[in-house]
Amino acid sequence: MNRLLLVVLVLCFMPLMSRAQESRQATGVKVGEVSDTSAIVWLRVTAKATRNPDQKPPAEGEPDALDGAVPGAPGTVQLRYGTKADLSDAKATENVAVKAELDFSHQFKLTGLKPGTVYHYSAETAGPQGMPKHAPLTGSFQTAPPADERTEVRFTVITGQAYKDLDHADGFHIYEAMGKLKPHFLVPTGDTVYYDNDPPLVTSTALARYHWQRMYGLPRHVAFHLRVPGYWEKDDHDTLDNDCWPGREVKRMLPMTFPEGQRIFREQTPVAEKLYRTFRWGKALQIWLVEGRDFRSPNNLKDGPGKTIWGAEQKKWLYDSIKASDADWRVLVSPTPIVGPDRGNKGDNHANAAFAHEGDEFRQWVKQNVPDNFFVACGDRHWQYYSVHPQTGVKEFSCGPASDQHSGGSPGENKDFHRFHRVKGGFLSVTAGPDGNRSRIVFRFHDVHGNVVHEHRETR
C-alpha cells in the first residue's frame, strides 16, 4: 500500500479509534452486598463518556437533555475479576446485552469468592453486538473476613444527598474525605436522591432515573465507588415523597407511583432480593440493614400493637438474628431514628409518638436481650447526634446530612438524650477490631472535610 495512502487512512480513522477507546460508563460501577464469598456488581452503558455539564440557570426539556443527565445506550457489558492487580488470574462473566427496560444496566452476581480477599475488576462495555469496544473502568473491593477472624473493619454511614445542596461541582466533599479513610464499605441510609423536592419534580420513570444518573455521574462519586462497595438502603424521598408509605398516592407526582419507586431503587442499586438483611464482617462486627418503607402502616393510623414500620416478618427476623449473633459488636443501620429525639411535629419514625408502641417494644427488647454490645446508626435527620435513650440505654448515632447546606431542623440539644449534638453536615465512621486481647469499637463524627468532631469508643 502506498505510504501516503496509509497515512491518510490512519488520519481518517483516528477519530473513530479515539472514540472507541473512551469509556461509556459515565455513571460508574457500583459494587454491593459484599459478603465473605459473594458480591453484586452493577454496570451501565452510557451514550457519552461524561455527564451533561451543569448550566446556570438549570436547563429545561427532555430528561436526557437536562443538566447532569447521563443518557444510557444499547450495548453489552462484561466483568473480569480476580485476586491479582493485573487480572492475570481473572475470571470473566458472560457478555450481557443491556436494554432500555432496565435503563441499560445489568447486575452481575458473583459467588465462590474467597473470604478476606481483595478482588480487582475490569468493567467492560461495548456497543451492540459487542462492537465497538469501549475503554473499561477498573476498581477493587474486599470481601468480608471469616466469621471467627477478628480483624479491623471500618465503614462509613451517610444520608441526605440533596443535589440542590451540593457543596462542590464534582460531587460532595464527603466522598473525598471518606475515601481517605479507606473504608471497607459504605452504607447510604436513604434519601440518596430527592424525587419530591429537589428540582425537577419526579413525575415519570425517566425523571426518577435522571435523579440517580445526575447523582452518580459526579466525578467524585464515580471515583469513590470504584474502590468502596456499598449496602444501599432507601427511605421516603428516594421512594416517592416525604414520609410516604405503601398505597400513598401523590397527585402532583403522577404517573410516578410508590411501586415504581420501589422498582427503580432495585434497578439503580446492587441490592439483594430481600431489603432487610445482615452481613458479618469477621468476629468483630455484624451489621443489620432494615427496610423502613415497604412494610409500614400509614403514618396517620392510630398507634397501637398493630401499627408497624417493619412488619411482622421483618421484625421477627431482626429479633432472632440479632439475638443469635456472637459478633463482638452488633450495629443496626436504620434509615430513620429509633432513639432520637426528633421534632415534635414529626410522625414518621420510632422516635415519634406516631410509632411509639413499636419503638418502645424494640428499645425494651434491646435492653433485655443485647444491652452491652448493640448500637443504632441512623440517617434521615439533618443534624448529627449521639443519643442514649433515658429509659433503656439504647445508643444511637445519627450521621448527619451530606453537606452543611442541607443541615437544619433540629429541635435543639436535649440534656436527657444527647451526648453530642451538631447541626452541620458530614458523615459517621465506625471502626471495629482487636484491642490487644479485647475488642474495640469506635464511632467518629466527621465534618464534610473529614475532620473528627466527636468520638465515642467502647471496649469489651
- The pLDDT value recorded for residue 10 is 40
- The pLDDT value recorded for residue 3 is 52
For 138, the 3-state DSSP assignment is: strand
pTM attached to this predicted model: 0.94
CA atoms within 13 A on the CB side of 342: 22
Beta strands across the sheet bearing 427-435? 185-188, 153-158, 427-435, 438-446, 452-459
Q: What angle do CA 312, 317, 322 make, to 5 degrees?
A: 130
Cell numbers at 113, concatenated: 469468592
The helix/strand count (H/E) of the chain reads as 7, 20
Cell numbers at 5, concatenated: 495512502
Beta strands across the sheet bearing 384-388? 277-281, 285-289, 329-334, 374-378, 395-398, 384-388, 418-422
- The pLDDT value recorded for residue 2 is 53
146-192+275-459 fold: Purple Acid Phosphatase; chain A, domain 2 (3.60.21)
First vs last C-alpha separation in the chain: 78
Strands 329-334 and 285-289: parallel
Go through 104-114 and write b for each residue having 16 or more CB atoms within 10 A of its CB, e for each that does not.
Answer: bbbbbebeebe
Element (H, E) at 207: helix 205-216
pLDDT in tens, the chain (460 residues): 455 444 444 444 444 444 457 999 999 999 999 999 999 999 999 999 999 998 766 666 789 999 999 999 999 999 999 999 999 999 999 999 999 999 999 999 999 999 999 999 999 999 998 999 999 999 999 999 999 999 999 999 999 999 999 999 999 999 999 999 999 999 999 999 999 999 999 999 999 999 999 999 999 999 999 999 999 999 999 999 999 999 999 999 999 999 999 999 999 999 999 999 999 999 999 999 999 999 999 999 999 999 999 999 999 999 999 999 999 999 999 999 999 999 999 999 999 999 999 999 999 999 999 999 999 999 999 999 999 999 999 999 999 999 999 999 999 999 999 999 999 999 999 999 999 999 999 999 999 999 999 999 999 9
For 53, the 3-state DSSP assignment is: coil
CA atoms within 13 A on the CB side of 65: 4
Q: Cell 440518596 appears where?
A: 192
- CA-nearest of 49, 107, 113 to 79 is 107
CA atoms within 13 A on the CB side of 298: 6
Element (H, E) at 17: helix 3-21
* Bridge partners of residue 384, in order along the sequence: 422
Identity of the amino acid at 325? S
For 177, the 3-state DSSP assignment is: helix
